[in-house]
Amino acid sequence: MAITMQVLKLLIQCKCARSMGFPSGQFSRVDNFSTSCQWRARKKVSQYSTVDTERYSSLVRAVLSSKTSSQTPASIDDEDCQLYGPVIRSRPPSQQPKVPKNLHPLLNEAKGQSEYVPGPLARITLQRDSNRTSPSVTRILQKTMPPDQAFYLERWKRRMIAELGEEGFKEYTLNIFRQGHLFHSAIEDHFTQETPAKEDPERPLEVSGFVESASHVLNDITGVRAIESAVHHSTLQYLGIVDCVAQYRGSLCLIDWKTSEKPKPSLRHTYDNPLQVAAYIGALNSDTNYNYQVKNGLIVVAYKDGSPAHAHFLNSEQIGTFWEKWLLRLEEFAEK
């Protein structure tokens, strides 16, 4: 009985000590009592605790151990077709080149190719009063310039104006035209003089480089038939002035002289010049003032620094291609 009373007293002391916050270690007599009455945090339950780990671990081992997939591109297409329906493939845009509505012939059946007969050169003056309704080749090409080409031309113009100013750019443009005119005059003098002089004391220094640049091409030109002569296409109603018609290395060509400050070693660097040559050839072949016709063209690009000019020869097949492109531009001009 005494022992029981003593145990009860110890239990009461233990509860009092815990209620007052004293650690249980300070009461050696209650060291052996359990402290299971303390609050403990509840353990969180994982969302993967209900997963059949044995089943999925075997699946992972099967995937990792296989070297190749059982699916193929064909089977994937079949599955996609069943799920989403058949694939409707869009047709690529038409790549067929445009064809002129009126494919007017380049050559004139009423004419033949006559041999060169020495005599006066053709220098037909352009009669603007009688051809007021006929636009020039230059105007048609300017009005139908492709958007990308017009963009780069406008960007170059703005850059030059920013560098030179409005007045400076106007002066620069006039100087370019003046150099071109002087160069054409020098070429004309070269072919019209009986004994062309290598050095002309009256020739402006600013054009001497261009003449020197084209000198190796001039040596290959013979049998000149026309210089700075007007042509008119009576059916298609356009006109222009050709620079020269002559033999170049044995082929009768319509020659167009160009000046440039930058090298133009490739035909694509000449932009619309091949269309211009084709247009002149078509007009000359149609014009009754000329008793012959031309199939080939030549674009000579001379440089101010005297470096060798680039001569771009256009055979009859190339001229035919550019002739069709010219007809398209002509139709576009008529629609504006």
Euclidean distance between CA atoms 106 and 87, whole angstroms? 48
Across the chain, the runs of DSSP E, i.e. the strands, are 221-233, 238-248, 251-260, 296-303, 310-314
- 284 pLDDT exceeds 50? yes
Euclidean distance between CA atoms 99 and 92, whole angstroms? 20
Euclidean distance between CA atoms 326 and 248, whole angstroms? 24
Averaged pLDDT for residues 29-43: 47
Residue 247 carries which DSSP code?
Answer: E
pLDDT digits (tens, 9 = 90+) for 109-125: 888 665 556 667 889 98
Residues with active-site annotation: 243, 256, 258
* CATH number of this structure's domain 133-335, picked from the four choices 3.30.43, 2.60.40, 3.30.420, 3.90.320: 3.90.320
**Residue type, position 59, single letter:** L
- 82 pLDDT exceeds 90? no
- 5 pLDDT exceeds 80? no
pLDDT of residue 309: 96
Euclidean distance between CA atoms 14 and 79, whole angstroms? 74
Per-residue confidence band for 52, with pLDDT thresholds at 50, 70 and 90: low
- 27 pLDDT exceeds 80? no
pLDDT of residue 16: 45
pLDDT of residue 261: 87
Averaged pLDDT for residues 243-264: 95
pLDDT digits (tens, 9 = 90+) for 139-161: 999 999 989 888 988 998 999 99
| CA within 13 Å, CB half, 53 | 4
Contact criterion met (CB below 8 Å) for 293 and 111: yes
Per-residue confidence band for 310, with pLDDT thresholds at 50, 70 and 90: very high
Q: What is the widest separation between alpha-carbon atoms in the chain?
A: 160
pLDDT of residue 91: 62
Place of tokens 């190749």: 68
- What is the chain's mean pLDDT, rounded? 80
Contact criterion met (CB below 8 Å) for 280 and 246: no
Euclidean distance between CA atoms 292 and 207, whole angstroms? 33
Averaged pLDDT for residues 55-75: 62
pLDDT of residue 101: 85
pLDDT digits (tens, 9 = 90+) for 227-237: 999 999 999 99
Strands 238-248 and 251-260: antiparallel
237 contacts: CB under 8 Å, gap ≥ 6: 133, 134, 135
For the chain, percent of residues with pLDDT exceeding 70:
65
pLDDT of residue 133: 78
pLDDT of residue 35: 44
